[in-house]
Chains A and B, each alone.
Chain A
């Protein structure tokens, strides 16, 4: 038992399976979770570190789903060791030798079938880099009212990194695509446990695949991709949710017909017409529903923490991050009275339209009391965060402002 426990990468609290000390420790430890999640998350979630990661919030071991605690978002760039981890299927590669990695490019819509190693990717194509937010479609699912089934994410299934790699369109240029190509299908090295489980395979429309900003990344924030973020290469689809950002990318296929796999036709879909989406995935749409595509405009307050205690006439800096689907953050408003009145926050440096945009607002309360602080971002299209949750069965696109309580004594 000791040796098995010794293998755990997490802290002491994660190891303790029983005993009053462990229970007391766990209860105290749960302050890392935001309010509003299903009760079962408070009973079950732990803080644990995967290899190469800081302790994150473990929502499931297998497949590994770990989110970034709100307190880790201290800058516009999310460090690699803090970045969230999300897998669909438990068959994830344990050992990857980058020198042996092959990316296959072809499909029925390709005139040429080819295979590239990492060395060729680096040497044969222009290197580009781009800051972009990677956000799980289900980020904040745990706050859905009513609650819905799935990984019960809080705030932290999102991060912003500087991705380095090559343009997908440059790589596709080698494959001599037929003009009738409608979709590009991407697959990675992770897979199912059972033969009957559909492999996690996704497609993107050809116009998104040929977008200058869509990349095959081999580095993140100046270092190799962490294993749990897709080592050695992953797809980067800026502005769109992370379901398309295939990890451990090993196959790209061009098609003249829409891809009908489970993860396109049945999963990751939103009700048609309910969200303010500009870029639709037209070849995958039906009258009832459509694939999730763009990240809706959103923000989070990263400091002070929930329940912050301060004194009258003291100043607290309200800080946070805002982002959207690639139109660019235009402004962030702060309310300190639960949404009754709003004032403009100061925006941080513009690191590009796909990146996190920091904001700050000095708050100097003149009276004792409890304050409900909220942030509301808007983008260059004039879109802003939803005042009321747009309910959908999978809990996607939840961008309702969540108040942080500050107690002034």
Chain B
């Protein structure tokens, strides 16, 4: 039966417009750096939903994973800015 259901019209698929990303991060020192690097590969709902349970070490592990495992070209100074921003705005406060 399923063979009949797969008509020629269904054999081409175009996604068209992607959903809009309208994700604002909290204002704070380093937000532009976070937006510049992180949003290159993923929408900024990732840090927002992963909050507020990570402490400084937790955010360091995440940012470091983006650099070492996912190849994000982030230098040490910018990495520190990003971690500081995430700890201050999306951290557990510990």
Q: Which of A's residues lie within 8 Å of B, judged by CB?
A: 4-5, 7-10, 14-15, 17, 38-41, 43-45, 48, 50-51, 58-64, 89-90, 94-99, 118, 122, 127, 129, 146-147, 149-152, 164, 192-198, 218-219, 222-224, 227, 231-232, 262, 266
| Interface residue ranges of B13-58 to A (CB < 8 Å) | 13-24, 40-43, 45-46, 48-54, 58
B15 and A97: CB pair below 8 A? Answer: no
Chain B residues within an 8 Å CB radius of A59: 45, 49
- Please tell me which one of the listed residues A99, A118, A147 contacts residue B53 in the complex, with CB atoms under 8 A apart: A147
Q: For the complex, what is the distance from the CA of A98 to the CA of B12, rounded to whole Å? A: 6
A99 and B19: CB pair below 8 A? Answer: no
> Taking CB as reference atom, which chain B residue is nearest A60?
B45
Chain B residues within an 8 Å CB radius of A129: 2
A41 and B19: CB pair below 8 A? Answer: no
- Please tell me which one of the listed residues B18, B40, B69 contacts residue A262 in the complex, with CB atoms under 8 A apart: B69
- Please tell me which one of the listed residues B14, B41, B45, B72 contacts residue A95 in the complex, with CB atoms under 8 A apart: B14
Q: Is the interface of A mostly helix, strand, loop or mixed?
A: loop
Does B6 count as interface, using CB distance less than 8 angstroms? yes
Chain B residues within an 8 Å CB radius of A50: 19
Q: How far is the CB of B41 from the nearest CB of chain A, in Å?
A: 5
A99 and B41: CB pair below 8 A? Answer: no
Chain A residues within an 8 Å CB radius of B93: none
Q: For the complex, what is the distance from the CA of A97 to the CA of B8, rounded to whole Å? A: 11
Does B5 count as interface, using CB distance less than 8 angstroms? yes
A58 and B19: CB pair below 8 A? Answer: yes
> Taking CB as reference atom, which chain B residue is nearest A94?
B15
Q: For the complex, what is the distance from the CA of A43 to the CA of B5, rounded to whole Å? A: 41
Chain A residues within an 8 Å CB radius of B3: 122, 127
B6 and A219: CB pair below 8 A? Answer: yes
Chain A residues within an 8 Å CB radius of B62: 149
Q: Is the interface of B mostly helix, strand, loop or mixed?
A: loop
Does B76 count as interface, using CB distance less than 8 angstroms? no
Q: Which of B's residues lie within 8 Å of A, judged by CB?
A: 1-3, 5-6, 10-24, 40-43, 45-46, 48-54, 58, 61-62, 69-73, 90
B13 and A231: CB pair below 8 A? Answer: yes
Given A193-B41, A198-B69, A152 contacting B15 (CB threshold 8 A): no
Chain B residues within an 8 Å CB radius of A62: 18, 21, 42-43
B12 and A44: CB pair below 8 A? Answer: no
Q: How far is the CB of A212 from the nearest CB of chain B, in Å?
A: 19
A227 and B50: CB pair below 8 A? Answer: no
Chain B residues within an 8 Å CB radius of A38: 49-53
> Taking CB as reference atom, which chain A residue is nearest B15?
A94
With contacts defined as CB atoms under 8 Å apart, how many contacts are there between chain A and chain B in the complex?
A: 143
Chain B residues within an 8 Å CB radius of A227: 13, 15
> Taking CB as reference atom, which chain B residue is nearest A6?
B17
Q: How far is the CB of A34 from the nearest CB of chain B, in Å?
A: 14
- Please tell me which one of the listed residues B1, B17, B20, B46 contacts residue A60 in the complex, with CB atoms under 8 A apart: B46
Q: How far is the CB of A312 from the nearest CB of chain B, in Å?
A: 40
Q: For the complex, what is the distance from the CA of A210 to the CA of B25, rounded to whole Å? A: 48
Q: For the complex, what is the distance from the CA of A239 to the CA of B69, rounded to whole Å? A: 29
Q: For the complex, what is the distance from the CA of A99 to the CA of B23, rounded to whole Å? A: 37
> Taking CB as reference atom, which chain A residue is nearest B11?
A98
> Taking CB as reference atom, which chain B residue is nearest A98?
B11
**Besides A10-B19, A61-B18, A97-B12, 4 other A-B contacts (C-beta < 8 A):** A40-B49, A58-B45, A96-B14, A197-B70
Which of B10, B20, B40, B58 gathers most chain A CB within 10 Å? B20
Q: How far is the CB of B94 from the nearest CB of chain A, in Å?
A: 11
Chain A residues within an 8 Å CB radius of B69: 198, 262, 266
> Taking CB as reference atom, which chain B residue is nearest A42?
B49
Given A51-B15, A90-B41, A40 contacting B73 (CB threshold 8 A): no
A61 and B72: CB pair below 8 A? Answer: no
Chain B residues within an 8 Å CB radius of A193: 40-41
Q: For the complex, what is the distance from the CA of A338 to the CA of B12, rounded to whole Å? A: 50
A149 and B54: CB pair below 8 A? Answer: yes
- Please tell me which one of the listed residues B12, B20, B51, B58 contacts residue A5 in the complex, with CB atoms under 8 A apart: B20
Q: For the complex, what is the distance from the CA of A198 to the CA of B3, rounded to whole Å? A: 36
Q: For the complex, what is the distance from the CA of A194 to the CA of B19, rounded to whole Å? A: 21
Q: For the complex, what is the distance from the CA of A168 to the CA of B45, rounded to whole Å? A: 37
A-B residue pairs in contact (CB < 8 Å), sample of 24: A8-B19, A9-B17, A10-B19, A17-B24, A38-B50, A40-B50, A40-B52, A58-B45, A59-B45, A64-B19, A94-B18, A95-B12, A149-B58, A150-B50, A152-B50, A192-B41, A194-B71, A194-B72, A194-B73, A196-B70, A222-B2, A222-B5, A227-B15, A266-B69
